[in-house]
A and B are shown apart, each in its own frame.
Chain A
């Protein structure tokens, strides 16, 4: 059974710092990996999706990398801002058909101090 682990569980840093969130998964036979952001009491906002054949994806201040063979992904946030405060979730998919949906980690709760 696939397991997704996110480290750290919580992180608090001053505004302006660059930071890295880590995600690991036990079965490397993934189809894709997706990073989401969840604000308190809200749904999920997709940040980046990386196909299994890709190494990284970038969107603005966000960069996600994928090392499928080692079962790891990182989300890099540059020049953090208070508005980045949220829970960041990593999720993996095993089939292009999405038959089994996504397997999620428990998330990293991020606080950016003004």
Chain B
């Protein structure tokens, strides 16, 4: 079944560590996104990609970086984690012109990151 997968689900890490949050989709979508959501707050777009080798910054400034070497894979990296990076990170993909179950935006289950 087509879906979007994020790992890990939960991550507790020390300040200064480098981390990579994984996101993979089998939806066949070209466009992928990373959103950040603080508890009780709305989601904010931090990165997006139109396809392979395309990466763009979103509305909310973020110290993270992304890469898109393969269509199905869109990892997010923090070179040096800080407590201010503690948040939930949600990955999504979209096919606004698609049909059926793959239409619109599909989200992963999220990674809840805590930096201590």
Residues of A within 8 A of B (CB): 4, 31-32, 34, 36, 41-46, 49, 89, 91, 93, 96-102, 104-107
Residues of B within 8 A of A (CB): 6, 31, 33, 35, 41-45, 48, 50, 56, 58-59, 88, 90, 92, 94, 96-97, 103-110, 112
Q: Which chain B residues border A97 with CB–CB below 8 Å?
A: 31, 50, 96
- Cross-chain contact of A42 among B59, B94, B110 (Cβ < 8 A): B110
Bound Cα distance A41, B90 (Å): 11
Q: Which chain B residues border A45 with CB–CB below 8 Å?
A: 107
Q: A32-B104, A43-B109, A49-B103 are in contact. Are A96 and B41 (CB under 8 A)?
A: no
- Cross-chain contact of A36 among B33, B94, B107, B110 (Cβ < 8 A): B107
B42, B43, B97: residue with the most chain A Cβ atoms closer than 10 Å: B43
Bound Cα distance A62, B34 (Å): 28
Tell me, rounded to whole Å, the shortest Cβ–Cβ distance linking A27 to chain B. Answer: 14
B35-A31 in contact (CB<8A)? no
Bound Cα distance A87, B107 (Å): 15
- Cross-chain contact of A46 among B44, B45, B104, B109 (Cβ < 8 A): B104
